[in-house]
Amino acid sequence: MSRPRRTARRGGFRLRVLGLASLVLAVAIGVALVAQRALMLEQLEHQVEATLEQERDELASLAGGVDPRTGEPFGGDVEAIFRVFMERNVPVRDETYLAIVDGRPYLSTQPAPVDLVERRGFVERIGRITRGERGDLDTPEGPVRYIAVPLADADGETRGVFVIAQLTARDRDQIDAHTRASALVAAGILAVATLLAWVLAGRLLRPVRDLTETARTISETDLSGRIPVRGDDEIAELARTFNEMLDRLAVGFETQRAFIDDAGHELRTPITVIRGQLELMGDDPEERREVMAIVDAELDRMSRIVEDLLVLAKAEQRDFLRPEQVELSDLTTDLFVKAQALGDRDWRLVATAEGDAVLDPQRMTQAVLNLARNAVEHAPVHSTISIGSATEGDTLRFWVHDTGPTIEESERARIFERFSRGGRRRGGEGAGLGLSIVRAIAESHGGRVELRPGDAGGNHFEIVLPGVVVTHDDGTAPHAPGPGSGGDTDDRTVEVTT
């Protein structure tokens, strides 16, 4: 029972990402606005303090000077000091002066942004201080920062107190208004940025949606869908990786399908033969022996077919080859010795390459012996079959040459296909997989297999493997001539006749 497919809410991931990003950005903007307001309030406090300090210093400087009306020092005349100071100094915005003499208001700024005279409790308390004082005062007009400076007469007794007050409500309101305006602008920018990010995120996530849609269209019978790759970022790398995965799956499914089709196609005949022979088998011992011989032969053929199909299936896997460095002369000689056991033919080792090569010796032995078996099956008894190897630069060549009937040119293109029995191969006992295995092994080594008619008739099968020969220290690779190359053979070329 298949599970119901879950359908993702469209835009859900994009909404979560943008929602989280917008939340983080909104919190950051809020923190920035709070920090900005606190900084502006702190600057306001410093500015007010600086203004009050300046006014106090000016008052102190005036008290130590002379009365401009008499030209004499003030001499502790606090009324004159207060009067001259207020005549000469104009309060800045939201600033007010209050002069208290003998505990009673003497002079004050008119009109005042904040009426300190009406705050009798404050006037009575400040009028009795003997040391300077600064502080904050709550008024109906708003918070006030003040500094009180006591002045003494000629006898050293405190007779007056001068209060310099600064109303900060208006500046605070301006700061709050600026903060609100900044918040509105930031909110608008956040909204526009979120909208643009939503659109851009949709474009950036398009490959992910394509991946999802492609994954939904994939089935065991259709692996053709691919995701278009745009750019060279992480999303593009994800699309590339997904496409590569589909390529591997397609190869795997195709290999599996080919294996099943080939196995079903080729095993059907021996199974039918076995079933027919068993159904017709009588009780005669001789007849039973003949039937069992046929059954054994068909079972052997089925076993070989299965083994060949498994080899072709494994050729698509990464661990199909186990390359190692091998000595070519020994490998070629070993191939020649093993091939002689395949049939009674005139076997000849015509050339052996010298030096080393990096390849899978077992798979290469399998490929060359398949070529030799193919020659034995289709070349007449006592005909000549030649085996050899040679190198050209870093390219290695193995060949098997027989003197049997020449394969027609029209058959050469498809003779390496599975279950091919064209031309001279008709009537053979094999399943038509041997040459397919040769091609698979050659291609797994990065090479190819070639077929051409021999110079004197017959067929010349050659496995060409580029880039496998290990060069000498001087950068050169050994070379041994092959058949038909012209010229006499040197001491690296041998000819053995059996």
Give residue-wise pLDDT tens across range 233-265: 777 787 788 888 888 777 777 767 766 776 666
Residue 1: its pLDDT value, please?
43
pTM greater than 0.85 (yes/no): no
- Cα atoms in the Cβ-side hemisphere of radius 13 Å centred on 187: 6
Give the pLDDT of the chain (498 residues) as one tens digit per residue.
444 455 555 567 778 888 888 889 899 999 999 999 999 999 988 988 888 888 888 888 888 888 888 888 887 788 888 889 988 888 888 899 999 998 889 898 888 888 888 888 888 899 888 898 989 888 888 889 999 999 987 777 888 999 999 998 888 889 999 999 999 999 999 999 888 888 888 777 777 777 777 777 776 567 777 777 777 777 778 778 888 888 877 777 776 776 677 666 667 767 777 777 777 777 778 878 877 887 887 787 777 767 767 776 676 666 788 899 999 999 999 999 999 988 888 999 999 999 999 999 999 998 999 899 888 888 888 789 999 999 999 999 999 999 888 887 777 767 777 655 544 444 444 556 778 888 889 998 999 999 888 777 789 999 999 998 886 555 555 544 444 333 333 333 344 444
pLDDT at site 378: 82
Find out whether 413 and 393 touch, Cβ atoms under 8 Å.
no
Among residues 350, 456, 444, which one has the least CA distance to residue 398?
A: 350
Count CA atoms within 13 Å of residue 244 on its CB side: 6
3-state secondary structure of 418: coil
| DSSP state letters, 453-487 | E-BTBSEEEEEEETT-EEP-TTS-------TTS-S
Find out whether 216 and 32 touch, Cβ atoms under 8 Å: no
pLDDT score for 325:
94
Which residue in the block uniquely carries the two structure tokens 């399943």? 431
The C-alpha atoms of residue 195 and residue 201 are separated, in whole angstroms, by 10
Q: How far is CA 223 from the centre of its chain?
A: 23
Q: What rounded mean pLDDT belongs to the chain?
A: 80
- Is residue 32 within 8 A of residue 189, CB to CB? The reply is no
pLDDT score at 432: 64
Of the candidates 54, 442, 16, 359, the residue with the CA atom closest to the CA atom of residue 197: 16
What's the angle, vertex CA 355, arms to CA 349 and CA 359, rounded to 5? 85
- Per-residue model confidence (pLDDT) at position 265: 63
Tokens at 158, concatenated: 């405190």
Asked if residue 75 lies in contact with residue 136, where contact means CB atoms within 8 angstroms, the answer is: no
Grouping H, G, I as helix, E, B as strand and the rest as coil, residue 273 is helix
Lookup: tokens for 63: 């008290």
